[in-house]
Amino acid sequence: MSWHTANNPDPMKRPTFGFTNRLRRVIWYCTYAILFKPSPIPFYGWRTFLLRLFGAKIGKSNFIYPSAKVWAPWLLETEDVVTIGRGVEVYNPGGVKLAHHTIIAQDAYLCGATHDYNKFTFDYISKPIESEPYAWVCAHAIVLPGVRLGEGCVLGAGAVTSKSLEPWTVYAGNPSKAVAKRNWFDTKAQPESLTRGKSD
């Protein structure tokens, strides 16, 4: 049996994270498997409670589906009326912040880390991912480390972006390219109940 050890001369055999981090994630994964994933779809409040229990900052009226995977809840922050859909994976070692009315559609992947492939040590690199209000990441799309999703932008189905997206612009392809403009609407003119961004 082979183990990761901190002093191993082979960098591929060294642990990326410390013991406390790994233990915390094991406890979360057990909670996810037993209490989060099996919960009925309409139990959004229950799943919000569990995420908050593990340190997430979740706004009001979030729609987080039971099959969505969050790597580290304590590094997740959402404002009000955020959707994290079926099969979404939130890999957030650098933190993920989603502004109000952001939609992450089914099977999308928010990937917040990579490795320096030019170094023998294969250094681990984590960066934050953030969205502005009304951003929409469509089904099976991939958002890579350090990306900021501009207000009202759309990342089309199956698209991949490693660069921040401009507001009210539609992107498609791999690598993603701007293909259209989205009709702008004044989010500040919406009813106050729709634009609150404060967490409970």
Q: Where along the chain do its domains lie?
A: 14-180
- pLDDT in the model for residue 21: 93
Residue 192, number of CB atoms within 10 A of its CB: 6
- pLDDT in the model for residue 187: 67
The answer, yes or no, to whether residue 132 has pLDDT greater than 90, is yes
Give 190 or 122, the one with higher predicted confidence: 122
Residue in this structure with the two tokens 């340190």, named with its chain if needed: 55
- pLDDT in the model for residue 197: 45
Confidence of residue 192 (pLDDT cuts 50, 70, 90): low
Residue in this structure with the two tokens 């089904």, named with its chain if needed: 139
The answer, yes or no, to whether residue 198 has pLDDT greater than 50, is no
Checking phi first, is residue 197 left (phi over 0); if not, alpha (psi -120 to 50) or beta? alpha
- The mean-pLDDT minimum among 35-39, 78-82, 187-191 falls in 187-191
The answer, yes or no, to whether residue 188 has pLDDT greater than 80, is no
- pLDDT in the model for residue 191: 54
Rounded CA gap, 143 and 127, in Å? 12
- The mean-pLDDT minimum among 44-48, 71-75, 185-189, 196-200 falls in 196-200
- pLDDT in the model for residue 176: 98
- pLDDT in the model for residue 102: 98
Checking phi first, is residue 95 left (phi over 0); if not, alpha (psi -120 to 50) or beta? left
pLDDT digits (tens, 9 = 90+) for 138-182: 999 999 999 999 999 999 999 999 999 999 999 999 999 999 999
- pLDDT in the model for residue 195: 47
| DSSP string across 142-172 | EE-TT-EE-TT-EE-TT-EESS-B-TTEEEE
- pLDDT in the model for residue 14: 83
Select 14-180's CATH number: 1.10.10.10, 2.160.10.10, 3.40.250.10, 1.20.1260.10.
2.160.10.10
The pTM (predicted TM-score) of the whole model is 0.90
